[in-house]
Amino acid sequence: MTRVYKRKEKRFLRSSGFGLVEVLVGVSIISLTLIGVVFLGGSYEKLSRNARAAIRAEFLLEEGIEGLRSMRDTGWQNIAELVTDAPYAILLENGVYTATTSPQILDGAYTRALTVSPVYRDADFRIVADGGGTIDNDTKHITATISWTEAGTTTVRVLQTYLANLFE
């Protein structure tokens, strides 16, 4: 009977190190998984912040175009009198939009500029490149630009459209 006991004791001594290796491998796998989850969460947060900033910028671009459209609706001269290719900001005061040449910082981070350019048309009344036809005084090319800096990187978005003299 002593012989059997000695075999069991020898087997136990030989296999005890194998349990330690299993524990180390298990802890390593769990640690790597947790590190991956933390890294993934940080990446998600950064992407979410960037997407939120881009969406806000798109809304501010649309607001700029809508402000010029509102100015047009109160009288075409509000658009026609703006200096060509000069950067403008729009202000909403007492429910009325006005254009100003003062730079405009929105929400403490975004810089928006609106420019008005002439539109040229050919003999078939199609819009053509600058100087390729005659100026259409009842249509203006609008370019809205917005920029912001986040984490040392400046991002710029541009939106272009046309405004036409619909009411006069």
Q: Tell which residue, 143, 123, 155, has the closest CA to residue 64.
A: 143
Q: Where are the domains of the chain?
A: 2-164
pLDDT of residue 10: 57
Segment 39-61, tens digit of pLDDT: 887 777 878 888 898 999 999 99
Query: What average pLDDT is seen over the chain?
Result: 86
Segment 68-104, tens digit of pLDDT: 999 999 999 999 999 999 999 999 989 899 999 988 8
Residue 106 pLDDT > 70: yes
Segment 21-38, tens digit of pLDDT: 888 888 899 999 888 888
Residue 15 pLDDT > 80: no
